[in-house]
Structure 1
């Protein structure tokens, strides 16, 4: 029986936690590449979509009772034989019929194609606005009918709750249970939600719950161990997840790539008194150090290194101190962390201060993360920097990265509008290939140009002028900024110019407020300033008048650390064949180019001030800006590779003690 094989243990998951040998990795990449060309071939997708439509015509002729009986028999067949193509087509037809009946939405042929690829364990690239939320219902429902416990991962809680609320009636009509796991859910609520056939959640919530399970089960994760524990009554009743069986990752490049640089850690409270004094002394010493004389900054890897003079200064200062300050490595590490807190972590960009607490802002989604903290004393150092009460230091109990966690699923699938740029890395790390599905309607999105300004003041002045021009056309405008500080800065400029607008960033991170701002963003003459919160998953509805006037216009005021985030913001306009346009207005003061080839930047700045409209000067500035972005993308790719190698090395070391996390 297929269902028994899929769920043959109490906690099904892949047990391959060691780094595979070189030839094995080559074979995995070759196999996934060949599978992409066989299973993901366009002719196979079109043939499957046609089979679904044919099966739907047959089902339309059945009475309600006969339709329910056919669904039940199909469920038995899927659990017996698995999701074969012949069964998948009929199952998709059932889902499509129920969607029309309950939601009033019929899956387009391209959505049927995308759903088919997801059931095959592939990554699907569908243009923004093509209805990935509705597409995900197809594989989620069919794999749940096949006996899998399904998790649908989104990039934030707002989207998880929205998608679950919208799609729960459809799943209920198919006899499937559906729930959502929120960050503030209590353990009994989480356990009940994961026990449903389909569960919506964020990647961080899911991974932290897995780590909690690993702490509860300790080293007893082998099938034989779990069987014996169930037999003897030692099985942990507080285990949250039903295992790692099948997952659909929405915005897969954000979850599997962008967020993979930061490991997820569960920690406990440490000794606060001695640690607090140590961190305060480290911050005091860091403030006394002088650039060039005592420390050097490496912009390529966003880190600092002490000079010979800096090490001598610390050694002399440590002669009057005791404890950890006698340890050369520990004191230098603490001071380097303090330097990073002072110069690399910026208020209203990387974090905000709310109720005398440091709240981290997710750099990829722009949302606040009140329950998260930095490790290795960084959080306490930033609290000292901002003069807020110190939180207790944390001791690491369990740690894992997204790269290692999602490899443990029996079946992994994902979708995004911007994933092809990282297709090679996806194949190498997760053994899944990327297949592109064409849009349902041709895109009408227009690019109105890219303009680079000499400095930030010229940039904001030009942005305000463009907004005023667009308002005379009665078009809505969405302006994207990288940080909260820049969003507030532009808001102040617009207030001075008398432009009515709304602002969306982490300080308005309540679901209701966000939904209201997004709902108004497509109205006639509306101006919205937003961080990355208005990026992935945000669907801005346009009125008929706005569509006639030319649709939504998006202005990028700064490029992000990778091009995919820029494409996501651009994708808020011109969705599903609607009219729309975008432009980019950046400057040489932007964070991305601030420390990149300073002599070249100075020459370009001079040229932009003298000949701002000259084509060759603008072209050179755009090339320089893009090269800076490519450099950061490569750095992040190397960081992810080093993190994965370090995790495999750590697990080899822990394996001697019987632990794996």
Structure 2
């Protein structure tokens, strides 16, 4: 029975169908211009860019140029790349231009689709950013698609790790800039730490297309981008805090080892308040007042260090350092440190040298970075399962673009086995069967460790891991493993995974940027094998031979059934499974996909595997047999939907907290840019000075108070401390009929006179520079302290829930209070600093922005490990010291997957680094 919704869709089509139909007239109009564009010379076609820009300057709307602009790009791509946009690709380009997500299946040419919307939105010359998942794809796409843009007279830049500021500024100044999500976000943060507008590298956020949008805006967005720098030495503070913990009683705290938490009990909090008050470390009346948020945070970390972490189990002390022990492998992890002051708390506990804590200098989430763009679009093969999140967080609609040819892939029902061993036995038999009949097979795993486990099992069964070129003969029992370390090599392996009989094991197929072509990718083979062959008859002949071989191998792969995709287990997200499945059936090719599960898989345990195991045994399921039923597929899909919904709620909740900081971040960053842009900040500084004086007088001479209630001495001392001037305030207070307003006016007049005299000594021009430098530096220092306070507040505000108070509302209220404190401190510190400034030598230069002391961090959401290189950018790094294979002291830091410097040919982790 068809429901009302299904009946309506049959008659009217779905919302997606109607959206696609709305683009058809524009597609026909573009097609009608094709002959006209073909008749143009190269110069005339390139001249269209100038013509379009003139129309925009005359007031034309950008969307009115869509049809002719798309027609121009289609013709330019034919001439520059030898590729013509399909009609469905034109539709994809229109979706991107509308600021939505184009969901296009693997192999449908998303990279080419982007050129349409990129070109059109680059015409206003405000800059278009194309965001990729790694440096390799940024370079590749900028060079590959750059041929089209340069043909049409547009400039193309690329942002990758290791560029200098001048190189970055030049790349961002281009019409079109390719870059990774991390690099773009870090550049934004670094720009807002500069001291002059001219030092900034980005020029705005006009339009961005995010490739693999689900990977970047959902998976990567679980963790923020952070730029940090070393704090000043606070070892005394950590040691002082540590002294409070050993003497606490058993009822002072509660420990939950399962959740790895340790908190003070109510009675413990009261006792701790008394001890802190006696030590002079408590501000205000309560430990949980907003002024004490940093003390509370470090007190909680000290409690965790003493009550949760055990020496020689969680860490060891070696060479006067606390070294973390990996809980899974039992190995030491030198160089790794706990964050948020926990490592310093352990160092204080063990009485070893306390190393400086890194302080967050700037931070932003991908959600809040990408929402800054005036227009944002994305493309991927799998976004519809996360459509609600895209709509809710980014206001992006997912539009499914039809395929150029109908999909003929067969998606089999899952096979469920009782044990992991039975499942892997079935997987290996399937791999062997595909190999024997010459069918290429792609095996997807959920982790690198499971890829290595499967590789070991295959090797025990006679398979060998080899170079992808060996697969050309298709007979040897060999396989390839993608390790996600070297993106160029990875792209080549994927490009040849469609060879007959090829066996490729991969973890998480998103963001590879290369599709699997049956028979192999002729262009990549030619680039690899003929790299050193100069143009000429010999190269042409060898190139023709390679293309002939690929065509023959494609026919063989097609005859064997196309690419077989084998999933070794279900991922917690349907989207990841769909990414893997979507690798087969490219552009109408035949293919097949199947997932192999066991009751011991992580996701299957959600259903209660004990009951299911018993039920299957009663049904007579024997060892090695599988159960196959569509009901299991539906049950799994529902479980995945629950996990997806939970993860969405977690990300949404985190974003609610980050939005509080983001509102404050925008205010501070906008103010910084305004201050840097202004020639003079003298009026701003004068307003600050007047507000500080007004606050000083109001605090010591309350409104409507009698003269004998005035704190005259307090005001006198505060004026000396803040304004650096001695005033006869006690004598003024004795005058008959004097009021607070008149005293304030006299203090203002004295301060202005003192400031005018100081300016006369220094000189007006130099004073303007000093004012700006002090204002910016003070703002930066206070903002960094504010970020630390917000981090600490966020870590403790969750406990308010026990008191039936909403942690988010508590966080908003106290974060606003802290922000007000920041602004008050800014006014006071700037006024105090300028009241003492004396310039006796050459005028100070505006501080140069030094990146050497900074480090950028973005944690991989899957592993928690930092994705960013530990070393400073190459532009600032010292020249490398030559490594002597026989002298380990010259090796410096060696990456665990680098070749061992001793020359053994093994990876470092399997050679000299195996005990590290």
**Fold conserved (TM > 0.5)?**
yes
Correspondence 1:358-377 to 2 at 5 A: 375-376=339-340
Q: Aligned pair in 2 of structure 1 residues 334, 39: CA closer, same or farther (>3 Å)?
A: farther
Correspondence 1:248-647 to 2 at 5 A: 248-270=209-231, 274=235, 295=256, 297=258, 304-305=260-261, 328-332=299-303, 375-376=339-340, 393-499=357-463, 500-506=478-484, 509-533=485-509, 536-543=512-519, 544=554, 545-593=556-604, 596=606, 600-608=608-616, 611=621, 622=633, 625-647=636-658
Q: SS in structure 1 opposite 2:565?
A: strand
- Report the Cα distance in structure 2 between the residues aligned to 1:429 and 1:241, rounded to whole angstroms: 24
Once the two structures are superposed, what CA deviation does each residue of 1:159-192 show, in whole Å capped at 9, x if it has no partner? 2222122111111101111122112333332222
Q: SS in structure 2 opposite 1:184?
A: coil
Q: SS in structure 2 opposite 1:554?
A: strand
Conservation of the 8 A alpha-carbon contact between 2:93 and 2:117: yes
- Report the Cα distance in structure 1 between the residues aligned to 2:330 and 2:108, rounded to whole angstroms: 34
Deviation at 1:641, TM superposition (A): 1.1
- Report the Cα distance in structure 2 between the residues aligned to 1:448 and 1:64, rounded to whole angstroms: 50
Conservation of the 8 A alpha-carbon contact between 1:253 and 1:416: yes
Kindly name which structure, 1 or 2, has the bigger radius of gyration based on alpha carbons: 2
Listed as ranges, the gaps of 5+ residues in structure 2 are 1-13, 247-253, 282-294, 316-323, 348-353, 464-477, 520-553, 665-815, 827-916
Q: Aligned pair in 2 of structure 1 residues 327, 538: CA closer, same or farther (>3 Å)?
A: same
- Report the Cα distance in structure 1 between the residues aligned to 2:60 and 2:202, rounded to whole angstroms: 22
Once the two structures are superposed, what CA deviation does each residue of 1:595-635 show, in whole Å capped at 9, x if it has no partner? x46xx222123445652688878666555544442332122
Conservation of the 8 A alpha-carbon contact between 1:296 and 1:307: no
- Report the Cα distance in structure 1 between the residues aligned to 2:158 and 2:18, rounded to whole angstroms: 31
Q: Aligned pair in 2 of structure 1 residues 525, 60: CA closer, same or farther (>3 Å)?
A: same
Deviation at 1:415, TM superposition (A): 1.5
Conservation of the 8 A alpha-carbon contact between 1:153 and 1:249: yes
Q: SS in structure 2 opposite 1:147?
A: coil
- Report the Cα distance in structure 1 between the residues aligned to 2:655 and 2:96, rounded to whole angstroms: 25
- Report the Cα distance in structure 1 between the residues aligned to 2:584 and 2:94, rounded to whole angstroms: 27
**Quick one: which of 231, 239, 242 aligns to 2:203?**
242
- Report the Cα distance in structure 2 between the residues aligned to 1:357 and 1:276, rounded to whole angstroms: 23
Q: SS in structure 1 opposite 2:102?
A: strand
- Report the Cα distance in structure 2 between the residues aligned to 1:407 and 1:513, rounded to whole angstroms: 34
Deviation at 1:537, TM superposition (A): 2.9
- Report the Cα distance in structure 1 between the residues aligned to 2:423 and 2:19, rounded to whole angstroms: 46
Once the two structures are superposed, what CA deviation does each residue of 1:411-451 show, in whole Å capped at 9, x if it has no partner? 11112221122222222222222222111110011113312
Q: Aligned pair in 2 of structure 1 residues 66, 634: CA closer, same or farther (>3 Å)?
A: closer
Highest RCO, 1 vs 2 (Cα 8 Å, sep ≥ 6)? 1
Normalising by structure 1, we get a TM-score of 0.75
Q: Aligned pair in 2 of structure 1 residues 61, 380: CA closer, same or farther (>3 Å)?
A: farther
- Report the Cα distance in structure 2 between the residues aligned to 1:607 and 1:275, rounded to whole angstroms: 63
Q: Aligned pair in 2 of structure 1 residues 488, 38: CA closer, same or farther (>3 Å)?
A: closer
Conservation of the 8 A alpha-carbon contact between 2:261 and 2:308: no
- Report the Cα distance in structure 2 between the residues aligned to 1:414 and 1:40, rounded to whole angstroms: 20
- Report the Cα distance in structure 2 between the residues aligned to 1:170 and 1:454, rounded to whole angstroms: 54
- Report the Cα distance in structure 2 between the residues aligned to 1:540 and 1:604, rounded to whole angstroms: 38
Conservation of the 8 A alpha-carbon contact between 1:39 and 1:120: no
- Report the Cα distance in structure 2 between the residues aligned to 1:580 and 1:195, rounded to whole angstroms: 45
Please name the residue that 2:794 is paired with.
none
Q: In the comparison of the two structures, how many residue pairs are matched? A: 560
Please name the residue that 2:151 is paired with.
173
Correspondence 1:177-256 to 2 at 5 A: 177-216=155-194, 235-256=196-217
Deviation at 1:464, TM superposition (A): 1.0
Conservation of the 8 A alpha-carbon contact between 1:267 and 1:396: yes
- Report the Cα distance in structure 2 between the residues aligned to 1:567 and 1:629, rounded to whole angstroms: 12
- Report the Cα distance in structure 2 between the residues aligned to 1:326 and 1:85, rounded to whole angstroms: 53
Deviation at 1:570, TM superposition (A): 1.1
Conservation of the 8 A alpha-carbon contact between 1:275 and 1:393: no
Q: SS in structure 1 opposite 2:193?
A: helix
Q: Aligned pair in 2 of structure 1 residues 136, 347: CA closer, same or farther (>3 Å)?
A: farther
Conservation of the 8 A alpha-carbon contact between 2:325 and 2:333: no
Please name the residue that 2:100 is paired with.
122
Deviation at 1:215, TM superposition (A): 2.2
Per mean C-alpha deviation after superposition, the further-off stretch among 70-79 and 113-122 is 70-79
Q: Aligned pair in 2 of structure 1 residues 125, 334: CA closer, same or farther (>3 Å)?
A: farther
Q: Aligned pair in 2 of structure 1 residues 392, 519: CA closer, same or farther (>3 Å)?
A: farther
Q: Aligned pair in 2 of structure 1 residues 274, 521: CA closer, same or farther (>3 Å)?
A: farther
Conservation of the 8 A alpha-carbon contact between 1:83 and 1:143: no
Listed as ranges, the gaps of 5+ residues in structure 1 are 1-35, 218-234, 286-292, 298-302, 359-372, 384-389
Conservation of the 8 A alpha-carbon contact between 1:152 and 1:201: yes
Q: SS in structure 1 opposite 2:399?
A: strand
- Report the Cα distance in structure 1 between the residues aligned to 2:223 and 2:573, rounded to whole angstroms: 16
Deviation at 1:380, TM superposition (A): 9.6
- Report the Cα distance in structure 1 between the residues aligned to 2:512 and 2:332, rounded to whole angstroms: 25
Q: Aligned pair in 2 of structure 1 residues 40, 624: CA closer, same or farther (>3 Å)?
A: closer
Q: Aligned pair in 2 of structure 1 residues 617, 328: CA closer, same or farther (>3 Å)?
A: farther
**Quick one: which of 119, 139, 143 aligns to 2:121?**
143
Please name the residue that 1:10 is paired with.
none
Q: Aligned pair in 2 of structure 1 residues 615, 490: CA closer, same or farther (>3 Å)?
A: closer
Conservation of the 8 A alpha-carbon contact between 1:260 and 1:401: yes
- Report the Cα distance in structure 2 between the residues aligned to 1:419 and 1:448, rounded to whole angstroms: 22
Conservation of the 8 A alpha-carbon contact between 1:452 and 1:618: no
- Report the Cα distance in structure 2 between the residues aligned to 1:628 and 1:150, rounded to whole angstroms: 40
Conservation of the 8 A alpha-carbon contact between 2:228 and 2:359: yes
- Report the Cα distance in structure 1 between the residues aligned to 2:38 and 2:210, rounded to whole angstroms: 32
Once the two structures are superposed, what CA deviation does each residue of 1:442-489 show, in whole Å capped at 9, x if it has no partner? 001111331222232222222111111111111111111111111111
Conservation of the 8 A alpha-carbon contact between 1:305 and 1:336: no
Q: RMSD of the alignment, in Å?
A: 4.2
- Report the Cα distance in structure 2 between the residues aligned to 1:170 and 1:326, rounded to whole angstroms: 55
- Report the Cα distance in structure 2 between the residues aligned to 1:276 and 1:513, rounded to whole angstroms: 50
Normalising by structure 2, we get a TM-score of 0.55
Conservation of the 8 A alpha-carbon contact between 2:261 and 2:304: no
Conservation of the 8 A alpha-carbon contact between 1:82 and 1:146: no
